[in-house]
Structure 1
């Protein structure tokens, strides 16, 4: 391990030697912090700019300053100007956050400019904060994509500036609510603190009164303190300067006019105003240090304006110390401010929940963006799965993957596109339409590069260089190769570390097919007519009359090949009737429909004999136009505000177009209206019920914007409790009209109870009922008290439980007004045919006991996030072709997930192994589990391993974080017990461990 570390350090040095001056003498980080005065109020001025990686303009337009008619902003000029001004006074400081922009700027600079910047970084005068590719959204992002985009940015800073480029503070000043899992990720990446600007107005008011604007956030119930503990501070003015002290070219505040002969001499006025602002702010914080964010959106294009006035502010305010003033102003950074708080040695309040939902006023809940732009949200999720596959196959295919029979491929383009997509105005859906289009275009371009890499790798692994086709529109039954070919093969690549079975649906025009697996064994299959709703959605993009349906299986981290041939002169598959025409069932589930309404009526788990009443329908909330008595706030891209709590039912009945019962799958096709339909599916060997919904174009000719939901009503006595995941990892308990941290005054009974779900949510009997059963074991529990109904989603969405035993999930939004939060246009997506966006997605439902639920929904949710990749080759495969492959020697234990496998450099790969269960979540799997790194891969020989921080920008053994006292009196943990050998890696519940492996 020591030898590998030396080699890696040498590689790091060689990668930076040409961009760094010789004889570096670094005094960055906490060592570079300016002196403060213990007996005074120290005001830390933090010069900064907040540069959205796309919002009103695209990333390119923001960087170059294009389309300034939309918004005046040019990031390249900001960095040019700031670097120039920092050189003029060694006391000046600046922080920069968005690595996606800095990376672009750096590539364009001369060697002399790079040397200047490196010196500024080494001296702590230019400091990188946060350091991810972007400042990610916290509600609609999946933890795996967040870790990836942070790693991308942090690696560039590390490779370019070494230790002085490593951020010590997380900085999420603009995201619209804050997830507990994000704080856990930051803590595990080695950050010492976290600052943000937005929290609920009621929460902020209470915290200001009690001086709890700064706290210790315990961000995991499973990781032992302080592994996921993170000091967290709420910035007093969001991310803006105090009122009256903005000196950017975009501002109107008066500059210092300090010539005494001037009629408009205003030094005394500005100084007095600043002293008042400082003392007012200090009243809400515990120490004699306060922070002021001196900057805002895309400011500092002319940095001279800011620095000239801040120089004078520091000069004139500090001059009053000679007259008895107790205020000391200084240039500073968030890191230096954090160090002073740490040295104060105070006891800080403890936070254990999250900061959702966020409201900035009584009727202004930012819960609409949980669902805004549902198609983009799905495309981002699908792109994440494709990126992981691309990364894995780059490793498994070696050098042949990037340069092979299909040309030059790369994973970097997709990695950067996904990094941009995590931005808090990207996957969140809160950007202008042309910017949303640009995000999607970037993802498509990234996949085009990865597609070449994947084709090369599969050609090498399989021994077949025949052309390979990837069908992008299988969800609407479009794939020209399968539609027209009489014989073809299908490769199913599985990015998970366990064997998966996956239902495959291929568009075809034949009436009968034979399917054989990699071992030549016949596979049961059916030919089913393409549904009417699918034909309506795809229009003229495909011509398949039928779908070929079968279950495919692929080994862990590997592929399996299926050979499909059309059978001539054979009749199509015929469905058979069930005992009841309104019941479908397999050996696990029985699903009943009401014959009078066509709606779902009950769900039975046949293994446990649990039955619940289950009714599902589609509704819409009338989106506020901002014209009712209580508030002028309309619904928009950010804000969900129904005009009332009333739901408008789309149809009281569902027209059942078809009940198809086959050996492999049973389907009920429901139509609720011309713009809402659904297929309810039950596959033969699966324990979950699949609901494929199609919504849109949402009609607005009646002048009403609509927030479309599907709601499930059950007889489970949930009594206001429901559960949602945090960025796809740990689950948090939610309660209607309640916040754990303060006494909520609920002003929006629907929007104020909405939370983000990233992969799953569930309802079950309330804890009070379960406690009663525990205290009185002779009491015979009713069915619902043993039941948990879990919902697994294919993208991030907003959800709530407004009524007892119900769960509603928002699927689509189409609105007619802007919500006055900056985007400047209503959320009304045109769709491909400019009639309005049609969204299609899947929900998976599981009915289990609460004790068994985790063992089922965890792997199911992972399977939705990391879906198998299908590719096709025309004709028969060559006899020499390898039809099956696994990159692992054996499947990983059920509790272990291979979170990351990617090429780091020519001889090393980055892996992350994750324990995917919470402590006490599963009787079976919530235990420590050990994995042998040397016995992990089938084609890679592991020669050495060194453990890294979660962000892979420092060695784990060098990761030392600041310690904080807290109300729970938690003492720091002793050092982690060493693994039994360099190769035996033990994972505890919810632990992620990151390694660089030297491989051959």
Structure 2
């Protein structure tokens, strides 16, 4: 009998075990000519110099992503990515020794679609031979300080999937490459490790850190990027590049460069080969002195270079020829075309032990007064819009799956999630959500997100129609934070659909702009819901301007099931009582059954916060301040700008020592509305069932008529004895300890006492002592620090009058059509007070609710009689420790599912334990027919993922074997350990 083919065996296994085993890409077997096998030979007894031809192509910065691709607006910056790829491919074909790496899949994807089939075959051949190699491979090179891990995983998955499906195994990058981000997050290293990368290279780190590492030859290290995951799961070899990502001085041969070419005709008077070789050998040997092996790397390229690749390659060919010719006369330098993965392979072959790092690379400074900590907050409105867009995208993805094919083509037309996926992926770029782009580029990012959400609204409407049985038109109100919603402002009867993207039930406070004075609300079961009408605040009327006309807000609490929706009916009472009155006095206290908040009656400021459940209380004062942005002084001419935070004094100006107050107290919500200045106001808000105190701040337009740039903070001063420590999250996941004027890996010489103590806060930060922990959950990425014991400050808004000379070429001075006098920004901080051992049980779910907030949809009138008013996509809520990170359509019959354990080890007595989930019992409307496990980025089967093993200097033995992950899921039971994310491809059918 003939042997069964591998494909037939796979099909049989699928039927027997429910495990999917089809290949991910077109070529399931890696040819022997790409990847590590394609590397040029090196010489063991010489210094091997790995030349890496590359281009760094920002997915938007000074120009928009479209302008960069096409080469438009060269009056701003000469750059055209399509010409770079055209030229590089042409030059690679002329010499098989040449190599090139490419990074940004967003650009390559566009270029690829425009190529003929014959050109695509040519490029595939170059990839299969290892001559064109992809590194990093995400849709973009994401920022590391201001991004949330869920959005980073999504954009990496999108880019790597395209490479996998287009080129197979030879298109899969083995090296992460973040040469331009402004500091490096530990969670990024952890994610890259779990995505299967063998190594990680970057260019920027603190100048003091680099000096120390050069002296000790620790510019290459092993990064242990998780306190919870068992090594080597989150271990990642990390290399720091010698020149950022530029070529050595004097060796740039792009059309954008001024360095002289190699003139190798000996009959010419300006023949310069000997001089070039001599200078190169000096540089190579000097570089070798600060690295550990007989291999060094040189990045031969820079921003948008290789548009005329012939210039580069013609000179590099000559450089290799003439430097290596010196070996005949005793030179011990060997130069070769290479790639980061080939260089990494040689470091691995050296079989050395490497310095171990367990913290991160923030903050980043490139000089004594040049701390890149301003961008943690720059463009706060865009940062919030990106976070909301992420929440909307996850909702869109989920409903596309739960609603089935009807979600993509239904009563509301054809919709898609891809437009928003691509817009969100581009927004993760290190000059996008970071806020370090020109204003017209920031506008383009926002436009793309808005366009993507419009496409997703069709998907959401179609899906909800299919699930509910009602095709009533659904409306979306994206400006509820400023009390704008045309339907609720004008309708006497309407329905509110509340979709919850979390895998556990949530209780959510809803505020709708209305013009009536009394309403009756019923829940999905027809039961009445307690509600109140309160007047729209003066601050809200000012910030919404002419965009709405509601005089009141309807406030009520909703409940939404896991991965599902609830529908609430709202009707205006013809004759109702007037809205809750406002009082122009400061209350002594406001409280619910969980929290008590007191105020100083003389100043109107917060004075204490108490947790009534745990019987703990702290002194708490909160106010607003501004740092005067430096425009340069005798010590340094460095001003504050989009990147750099540099106040001209360590003492900020207080905006007001008193707050004018207005109070609203009802059974549903209690508010103390505070005014500090015409451009700063706040609402201290406590909902009836909330364990968190809400501070809704409104800041702007920042006045600049005094010609002073301003960086506005809010500061929380408490009685907590924090001993100069505070804690911030890393990209929304693990918490890291920070200490004032301290770095774990070198003796810091602090030169900027404020900016040098600022760190990125992606979703939360806290201070604590043995008794109390105050946690602040943010609604966007912001910068902050603990400058004084018991104090936590968060930067909210920045308006600056000078460029900081880091390339963007314009000051961070935002305005818009609605706010021509300067941008107004509104946001929320949520405060919780707990005992330190139990605090994570509160702040982790709270942070997830802010990241993935319920989506509200609206319909006119009452629901039709047969409408399904409540639905959950899950058979039961997931355990508190488990977060459903991803549910998205992959192919017509498959969905991608990610489940994560959202607690760190030893963080919670209750929730830091392994948890088991049954995938077959997960969904209420989907039958799971087959399952197979992937790596984090979904571009490899998990049991096939192998990584290089590295030995840290602190370990006596090498790391465990190369194959570090479990194989295919052979049962439906999935166990998650603390901080573990597991990714599955499910074959499903709709019930």
Relative to the length of structure 1, the TM-score reads 0.96
Match for residue 900 of structure 1?
Answer: 886
Is the Cα–Cα contact under 8 Å of residues 933 and 967 in structure 2 kept in the other structure? no
Instruction: Work out the CA distance in 1 between the residues paired with 2:145 and 2:585.
Output: 45
Q: Verify: 1:504 aligned to 2:510, yes or no.
A: yes
Could you tell me how far apart the structure 1 residues matched to 2:112 and 2:967 are?
A: 40
Tell me the CA shift for residue 180 of structure 1.
0.1
The yes-or-no answer on 1:346 pairing with 2:352 is yes
Distance verdict in 2 for CA 1:70–1:976, change over 3 Å:
closer
User: In the TM superposition, what is the alpha-carbon distance from 1:936 to its structure 2 partner?
Assistant: 0.3
Match of 1:702 in 2: 706
Q: Measure, in 1, the Cα distance between the counterparts of 2:423 and 2:529.
A: 38
Q: Is the 8 A contact 2:62 2:438 kept in 1?
A: yes
CA distance 1:684–1:5, change in 2 (3 Å): farther
User: SS at the partner of 1:986?
Assistant: strand
Q: Find the partner of 1:992 among 971, 981, 988.
A: 981
- Per-residue CA distance 1:216-274 (angstroms, 9 max, x = gap): 00000000000000000000000000000000000000101000000000000000000
Q: Closer, same or farther in 2 for the Cα pair 1:390/1:35, shift >3 Å? A: same
**8 Å Cα contact 2:897-2:983 kept in structure 1:** yes
Distance 2:585 2:51 in 1: 75
The alpha carbon displacement at 1:573 in A equals: 4.2
Q: Give the drift of 1:590.
A: 0.7
The residue that corresponds to 2:530 in the other structure is 524
Secondary structure at the aligned position of 2:796 is classed as strand
In the other structure, the counterpart of 1:383 is 389
Would the aligned equivalents of 1:578 and 1:584 in 2 still touch at CA under 8 Å?
no
C-alpha spacing 1:204/1:12, structure 2 compared with 1 (3 Å): closer
The aligned counterpart of 2:666 is 662
| Residue 9 of structure 1: how far off its partner (Å) | 6.5
Residue 363 of structure 1 aligns to a residue whose secondary structure is coil
CA deviation profile, 1:593-623 (whole Å, cap 9, x unmatched): 1011000011111112211110000000000
Matched, 1:909 2:860: no
Q: Which of 738, 742, 752 is the equivalent residue of 1:734?
A: 738
Asked if 1:651 is matched to 2:646, the reply is no
Match among 221, 224, 237 for residue 218 of structure 1: 224
Aligned-residue RMSD, C-alpha: 1.6
Match for 2:801 among 803, 816, 824? 816
CA contact (8 A) 1:26 1:164 kept: no
Q: Choose from 528, 548, 555 the match for 1:549.
A: 555
For 1:255 and 1:989, the matched residues in 2 are separated by 56
Q: Which residue in 1 is equivalent to 2:792? A: 807
SS in 2 for 1:307: helix
Partner residue of 1:92 out of 89, 94, 98: 98
Partner SS state of residue 162, structure 2: helix
Quick one: which of 717, 724, 745 aligns to 1:720?
Answer: 724
Query: 8 Å contact 1:145–1:422 — kept in the other structure?
Result: yes
Q: Deviations over 1:629-649 (max 9, x none)?
A: 210000000000000101101
Aligned counterparts of 2:610 and 2:576: Cα–Cα separation in 1: 37
Q: Is residue 481 of structure 2 the alignment partner of residue 475 of structure 1?
A: yes
> Is the alpha carbon distance of 1:86 and 1:8 closer, same or farther for their aligned partners in structure 2, counting shifts above 3 Å?
farther
Name 1:167's counterpart in structure 2: 173
1:325-364 equivalences under 5 Å are 325-364=331-370
**1:224-235 matched pairs, under 5 angstroms:** 224-235=230-241
Shift of 1:581: 2.8
1:715 deviation in Å? 1.0
Give structure 1 stretches of 5+ with no counterpart: 766-784
TM-score normalised to structure 2 length: 0.97
In 1: Cα distance, 2:495 partner to 2:782 partner: 36
Matches within 5 A, 1:931-970: 931-969=917-955
Structure 1 position 905, deviation (Å)? 0.2
Alignment of 1:37-48 (within 5 A): 37-48=43-54
Partner of 2:528: helix, strand, or coil? coil
Residue 6 of structure 2: aligned partner: none
Corresponding residue to 1:409 among 404, 415, 422: 415
2:41, 2:960 → 1: CA distance? 32
Trace 1:241-260 onto structure 2 (pairs within 5 A).
241-260=247-266
Q: In structure 2, do the counterparts of structure 1 residues 178 and 68 end up closer, same or farther at CA, with 3 Å as the change threshold?
A: same
- Cα distance in 1 between the residues matched to 2:13 and 2:90: 37
Task: Give the corresponding residue for 2:759.
Answer: 755
Query: For 1:59-78, what aligned pairs fall within 5 Å after superposition?
Result: 59-78=65-84
Once the two structures are TM-superposed, the CA of residue 10 in structure 1 deviates from its matched residue by 5.3
1:368-422 deviation per Cα after TM superposition (whole angstroms, max 9, x unaligned): 0000000000000000000000000000011000000101100000000000000
Q: Distance in 2 between matches of 1:971 and 1:275?
A: 35
Q: 1:24 to 1:181 in 2, by over 3 A?
A: closer
C-alpha distance after superposition, 1:147-202 (max 9, x if no partner): 00000000000000000000000000000000000000000000000000000000
The answer for the alignment partner of 1:797 in structure 2 is 782
Corresponding residue to 1:142 among 119, 127, 148: 148
Q: Distance in 1 between matches of 2:30 and 2:140?
A: 29
Report the alpha carbon displacement of residue 967 of structure 1 after superposing the two structures with TM: 1.4
Give the match's secondary structure for 2:182: coil
Cα distance per residue 1:103-154 (max 9 Å; x no partner)? 0000000001000000000000000000000000000000000000000000
